[in-house]
Amino acid sequence: MRAIIFTFILSLSAQLSAETYTDMLFLEIRNDAFGVVSSDRHLTNSVSLGYMTEEIPEFLERYFERNGQNLFTVSLNQNMYTPEDIESSSLIEDDRPYAGWLFVRSSVSNRQGNNLSLYGVEAGVVGPAALAEQAQTYVHKITDSRDPRGWDNQLDNEFGFNVYHHRAQNQRWETGPLEQEIIYHGGASVGNVATYAEVGSYYRIGYNMPDDMIIGSKDEASWTLRKEDPEYKKPFAAYLFTHVNGRYVLRDIFLDGNTFQDSHSVDKKNFVASSTAGVILEFRNFELGYTYTVTSEQFEGQDGPDVRGLIVFAYKSSF
């Protein structure tokens, strides 16, 4: 079943100097209740509230490059996973488990020219303590959506911890009035929540494209280091993009179930591929776009790939 997912990102920023990144507060909400068609299935809700700055904490400075451009990010996040049928109170053995994941994510990025490296950690709790049941029940009540009745079958409480590393390299060139860019990236995560390795590539073409290093796509977690030089920034930008990604998964707690005790689980597929295409328009402090993503089946018996659209709206202003 297809769903249109609306993402609203509110950012408050302050310019540090002429050629630095901005301090930024961001709020990102993804939920299919905002869409034209509502379909609670798999990753059905994601909320992230965070802060990013070039000022790396002193205790981390000794471990990271002093050259180039650095970016420190910290955020509080909640993800929610459900099977497709949320109206059944019985355990649905052939679909993924109910699960909530409440966690803090922190990362440090370093960009030198066309190369980007990122190191990060995630720590939090999976299970009832993540408050996903309460969040979904409340949202569905105020939106008059289906009553979720299967949360008694969710994964049990478990501390979750991941460490991850990503690297990327880009190439940009001009073709008349248009710019083109290819970004190659690879990375890995190790932890009891997610252990995987992945590679991917990102291509875009457009007018006045921002000079940011994008890993991932607009419909998933991404990490960027953007040059905020006023001489570069243009009032209007528009571009098309595609992104392909392949991931080999050794551990996914949201499919494999709890690590140290018995719980509902499904037989995951180790290799997962995704493909995304979209368009982004930027005008001054506003950004509007649409992306369309197809992700291959993640577990045995899944009813086809996940297909979703994403409407992106963002606003950034000084404070």
**110-146 per-position pLDDT tens digit:** 888 889 888 999 999 999 999 988 988 877 777 667 7
CATH of 3-318, one of 2.40.50.100, 3.60.15.10, 2.40.128.140, 3.40.50.300: 2.40.128.140
Q: Decide if pLDDT at 280 tops 50.
A: yes
Q: Decide if pLDDT at 7 tops 50.
A: no
**224-270 per-position pLDDT tens digit:** 555 444 444 568 899 999 999 999 999 999 999 999 999 999 999 99
Q: Decide if pLDDT at 315 tops 50.
A: yes
Collapsing DSSP to helix, strand or coil, 145 comes out as: coil
| pLDDT score at 221 | 42
Highest mean pLDDT: which of 61-70, 152-161, 224-233? 152-161
Q: Decide if pLDDT at 82 tops 50.
A: yes
Mean residue pLDDT across the chain:
80
| pLDDT score at 111 | 86
Mean pLDDT (whole number) for 272-287? 88
Distance CA 133, CA 100 (A): 8
Domain ranges, ordered by start, for the chain = 3-318
| pLDDT score at 126 | 97
